[in-house]
Structure 1
Amino acid sequence: MRTLIFMTAGVLSLLGCTTPQEQARKQQVEMERMIARYGPACTQLGFVANSDPWRNCIIQSATRDDVNRGGVSTSIFGGWGSGGRGSGIGIGIGVGR
């Protein structure tokens, strides 16, 4: 029985692993999404497209929006960024409503 539990835990942990290439691809897709959303506004603010200050404007704008929305918790223990209501993804054992 113990062997079955350890084997199951090992398989589940391996399923959650991603390769560095997959992580880089996900980050690239996320950056492209942010550029499409915030790039035009940063250009209108006077930043030269594809410059470091322009990219910084995009990242700051995305971060500001995430903070204003309360953010997204990727913790299995619940999030505290949404008024302390334990709004995390997963088992969410934070403080209830």
Structure 2
Amino acid sequence: MKRQDYIKDHAVILKRLCDKRDKLNVESMKTGLTKKRYQAIVADLNFTCMHIAQEEERILFALGKLRPEEARKEYQPGHFQVYEGIGGELQNIKFD
């Protein structure tokens, strides 16, 4: 894969995730939400922010600003969820 294509693809994903984050943020500010609905929005917001951070790391890697070993070791979008970082994924990427 060409570096510029990788950056473009992940920039599109990042834009979509940022738009979703903004929408969820606005939705979380509405009055009259039930506690259950508010918690669902916050959980979705946390996961969206985790995915945004991953996409940012992918783009930084493609731009040569981040080495795979410098990527986050884990993501913790909530109190009980812990996800492995994407360093291993980045190590396997080879650009043309």
TM-score higher than 0.5: no
> Quick check: which one's strand share is greater?
2
More helix by share: 2
Asked which structure has the greater CA Rg, the reply is: 1
Provide TM-score, normalisation by structure 1.
0.31
